[in-house]
């Protein structure tokens, strides 16, 4: 069943679509392939979501792996970049 209610706050009306697993925090932005970062969406909602962080539920708090991912990205971009919080 499409979890559009988790992402957009409304029940998915598209009952005929196949369901796909997606990264809640986008993989393209460092979201890991772990169960706590998984969301099931129909094909249409999955395409809508893309890599948009506007839909991530920040009100639930930052995911425990986020600091590690940001550090990995900082090192990949430029190891000399200072760490800022
Ligand atoms: Zn849907």
Residue keyed to tokens 């986008």: 26
Q: What is the pLDDT of residue 28?
A: 84
Ligand 1 center–CA 79 separation, angstroms:
40
pLDDT averaged per 10 residues, the chain (length 85): 91 92 88 90 91 84 88 82 71
Ligand 1 center–CA 4 separation, angstroms:
5
Name every residue whose Cβ is closer than 8 Å to that of residue 2 and which is 6 or more positions away in sequence: 12, 14, 17, 19, 40, 41, 42, 45
Q: Is residue 79 part of a domain?
A: no
Tokens of 41: 């969406």
| Spatial separation of the C-alpha atoms in residues 44 and 2, rounded to whole Å | 10
Tokens of 64: 């425990």
Q: 25: how many CB neighbours lie within 10 A of its CB? A: 22
Q: Is residue 21 part of a domain?
A: yes
Q: Is residue 42 part of a domain?
A: yes
Ligand 1 center–CA 21 separation, angstroms:
12
Q: What is the pLDDT of residue 53?
A: 83
Q: What is the pLDDT of residue 59?
A: 87
Ligand 1 center–CA 75 separation, angstroms:
36
Full residue range of the structural domain in which residue 12 is found? 4-60
Q: Is residue 71 part of a domain?
A: no
Q: Is residue 81 part of a domain?
A: no
pTM reported for the whole predicted model: 0.70
Q: What is the pLDDT of residue 3?
A: 95
Number of domains in the chain: 1
Q: What is the pLDDT of residue 73?
A: 78
Q: Is residue 53 part of a domain?
A: yes
């Amino acid at each position: 069943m499409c979890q559009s209610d988790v992402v957009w706050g409304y029940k998915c009306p598209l009952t005929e679509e196949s369901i796909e697993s997606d990264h809640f925090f986008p993989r393209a932005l460092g979201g890991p392939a772990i169960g706590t970062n998984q969301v099931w969406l129909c094909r249409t909602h999955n395409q809508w979501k893309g890599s948009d962080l506007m839909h991530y539920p920040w009100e639930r708090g930052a995911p425990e792996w986020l600091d590690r991912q940001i550090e990995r990205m900082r090192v990949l971009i430029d190891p000399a970049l200072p760490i800022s919080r």
